[in-house]
Chains A and B, each alone.
Chain A
Amino acid sequence: MVDGTLGAVGAVPPAEVEDMELYHPKSWVTRYVFCQDAKVISIQYSLTALSIGLVALVLSWLMRLQLGFPSVFSFIDANAYYQFITMHGMIMVIYLLTAILLGGFGNYLIPLMVGARDMVFPYVNMLSYWVYLLAVLVLVASFFVPGGATGAGWTLYPPQAILSGTPGRDWGIILMLASLIIFIVGFTMGGLNYVVTVLQARTRGMTLMRMPLTVWGIFTASVMALLAFPALFVGAVMMLFDRVLGTSFFMPALVEMGQQLQYGGGSPILFQHLFWFFGHPEVYIVALPAFGIVSDLISTHARRNIFGYRMMVWAIVAIGALSFVVWAHHMYVSGMNPYFGFFFATTTLIIAIPTAIKVYNWVLTLWLGDIHLTVPMLFALGFIVTFISGGLTGLFLGNAVVDVPLSDTMFVVAHFHMVMGVAPILVIFGAIYHWYPKVTGRMLNEALGQLHFWITFLGAYAIFFPMHYLGLVGVPRRYHELGEAAFNTPSVGTLNAFITIVALIVGAAQLVFLFNLAWSLVRGKEAGGNPWKATTLEWQTPETPPAHGNWGKELPVVYRWAYDYSVPGAEEDFVPQNQPVVARAGAREGAPA
């Protein structure tokens, strides 16, 4: 039986850490701006990430306009197009998804869910946000420097990234690398906080195997990020040296436009290894928090314990570990020693097994459930569909030989948008609908939420599902225009136009969401402390929104795992984690007000 379900009364260990002395804000500025409260930092992270994410969304419109209606919009020339895809890709992956999932959700949920008063290093935590903001500003600045942003693709492969055939090689690339370096510095401060808080600041009774999967996901992703980002960091520093100081880490002897350059002896493939040693774990840095969150959304809204909790935890840990030995599946056709393909194809397909287990367990949680189709639940379901789709096409690209014809085509673009674009974004939306009541005390509007969900989910599927087939036809990715080509048939043009129109609609639907966020802040229905009747600690706070320090005088004590939904014999269909086992049948002290 799972640890801490029934009959675990005596299993509440003594508090290992003492209540910490909290920092107390003295003025408006230290309360809302330079604030050390993880909840405020979380909101700062989330709003910044969503704002820069909107920029990336607008860029995707511009790219789609060019692809759907080539040469109609003359301002989107080749230079601009490559700048757009680069900034779009980088912003989405790093500055939106990583930042919002770890900095945003991590900050809000970790302390509340493990029953801590705050992160363990609040000051460093505050710095983390401001450094992140600086990284974002440096990135945005690169749009405005002479020559504009870099157009090297989000993978920034040298030598191309720092040679003059690529837009933004003067300043854009320098700012991009600088911004990444700053981001990683900021992330490290936050990441250490998340990891140490989970390890050291759990409240009494919150054993590791009683933690909600959200915390497991964010925790594992943070550990991974701390191990993976350094590879990108050194790669960025070395490339910056190559560009600015004339070193040759990644630069072999080469001839550019008929000119012999001064470089010599470096290896472009070395950069690719560094990049993907970061880049593949990055996929899971985004995915694991989403996995965790979606598990909790499904369990709560299906009123059923998550199926196979222990397997879910081990799957998260296994995926986290395995994802460090699969990076070169992005490099089957890179010219590395082709014999590596055997190893990396094998590890890559093995990782599919724990991933599949997660999908089964989500679906099996629905089985025999009592499914409430709330807006967060709808987004969670949308996630499962797009994630299955994107996960399965990963089996194509991971299988070395199948990747050969498909790599660098629109198939790849469709695959990674499904699996790490649309799927995590749907979870983020679901999570916002789910936790907004805790953050603000008010519910988001249900009807607007439904509208937002249906357009976004169906639209995203209509954009990216057919796109795989463009890749199969042979349409390469990162093409400003297809021009005359055997595969550029009229039907390909029609499909591209269709995709563009849907993309515009989906983009516009996000306005509904933004409006809902603002409108519900003042007009939303009062939420109360625990509107979803959820078990986890963040719903049991004495105040909503939780006050500084989260808990009243006493920290909560945890008696059970996070998934006591519909426990037989219990009078309600959920039992909060902090409800003592003996009290279950009788009066329910410790339950939400």
Chain B
Amino acid sequence: MAIALILVLIAVGSVLFHVLSPWWWTPIASNWGYIDNTIIITFWITGVVFVAVVLFMAYCLFRFRHQEGRRAAYEPENKRLEWWLTIITGVGVAAMLAPGLFVWKQFVTVPEGASVIEIVGQQWQWSYRLPGKDGRLGTSDIRNVSSDNPLGLNPSDPHGQDDVVVEGGELHLPVGKPVKVLLRSLDVVHDFYVPEFRAKMDMVPGAVTYFWFTPTRTGTFEALCAELCGVGHPQMRGSVVVENESDYQAWLEQQPTFVRSSAGLGPKVESPRLTD
């Protein structure tokens, strides 16, 4: 019975592949361990169902294969069995949905006191904006975008004057602090995706979207674009440096603010004389 045997091999082989193969998610670097846990629950439930159904099929194929004189049973339905299966399936589905919705609630609820930063996508690079001393981002409008004002900040908004604008380059974040990421795009839909953070969200021109997370591990992480955005899509890379508070502050100090860069002044490090 080749087919029965092969189905058994498929069931067993899939499980072995899952357990033994080297391909597994990257070590997590954010608070979204909950997401990983929900995936694990889902793997267990779906894995059990997969193996059970495929093995049952294999058994049927072996046991009820055509042989001389065999006749199938005639049984149009079996209400009891059908209801039981429906109920059990319902329970399994609920066991995945409940934790899923619970974690989704956390995902969409930004904790109070999260710091706010902005990531802006454009073909094909990332830019970042962090609030200055006042802790608030100024307003922006796409119509203000020009070569001096690449992110379209509102020049007359006092909150925006001290905003730190990083074009291309790296985003730095302090470890252990929740951060709400506002997302904007200047041209097409992009998606800021750092596999280690698990969280991601599209950035849509004409709208501001968001997600939040807490970096839990220092290090440099690669950011990719996860929404097709034209031929340069795979080249749209960036990196996020998660560091401790003092390193972060030191880095922030050196970044040009909006007033400075729009006045044509470079970052502080590169032109130390001007800051005197």
Contacts and interface: CB of A to CB of B under 8 A. Distances in A.
B204 A388 contact: no
B65 A371 contact: yes
Contacts of B85: 356-357, 360
Contacts of A82: 228, 231
Contacts, number: 325
A401 B38 contact: yes
Interface residues of B, number: 98
A157 B230 CA distance: 11
A568 interface: yes
A437 B130 CA distance: 70
B7 interface: yes
Contacts of A407: 200, 226
Given A78-B234, A163-B230, A353-B93, A338 B107 contact: yes
Contacts of A265: 206
Contact of A399 (B21, B38, B64): B38
A153 B235 CA distance: 17
A201 B154 CA distance: 67
A433 B87 CA distance: 36
Contacts of B202: 333-335
Nearest to A474: B195
Interface stretch (B48-56, B131-139, B243-251): B48-56
A175 interface: no
B241 interface: no
Contact of A269 (B142, B207, B221): B207
A416 interface: no
A268 B38 contact: no
Nearest to B147: A258
Q: Tell which of A357, A360, A361, A401 has the most Cβ of chain B within 10 Å.
A: A401
Contacts of B45: 395
A9 interface: no
A439 interface: no
A254 B143 contact: no
Interface stretch (B95-103, B111-119, B165-173, B267-275): B95-103
A352 B93 contact: yes
A346 B90 CA distance: 12
Contact of A309 (B46, B76, B198): B76
Contacts of B100: 345, 349, 399-402
Contacts of B198: 404-405
B104 A400 contact: yes
A165 B195 CA distance: 25
A256 B86 CA distance: 53
Interface string B31-57: 010110011001001100110011011
Contacts of A167: 231
A401 B54 contact: no
A368 B66 CA distance: 11
A563 B76 contact: yes
Interface string B192-204: 0101001111111
A255 B3 CA distance: 58
A445 B96 CA distance: 46
B93 A308 contact: no
B76 A2 contact: yes
Contacts of B191: 333, 408
A472 B76 CA distance: 42
A492 interface: yes
Interface in A164-210: 165-167
Contacts of B34: 401
Interface in A265-280: 265-269
24 contacts: A153-B228, A157-B188, A165-B229, A256-B123, A260-B145, A305-B76, A311-B82, A338-B108, A345-B97, A349-B97, A353-B93, A359-B53, A361-B82, A368-B75, A369-B73, A373-B3, A385-B10, A388-B53, A396-B39, A401-B107, A407-B226, A474-B195, A482-B234, A486-B222
In order of increasing CB-CB distance, the 8 nearest A-B pairs are A252-B206, A165-B230, A474-B195, A335-B209, A469-B23, A304-B72, A160-B188, A392-B46
Interface of B: 3, 6-7, 10, 14, 17, 21-26, 32, 34-35, 38-39, 42, 45-46, 49-50, 53-54, 56-57, 60-61, 64-66, 70-78, 81-82, 85-86, 89-90, 93, 96-97, 100-101, 103-105, 107-108, 122-124, 142-143, 145, 147, 152, 183, 186-189, 191, 193, 195, 198-207, 209, 221-222, 224-235, 237
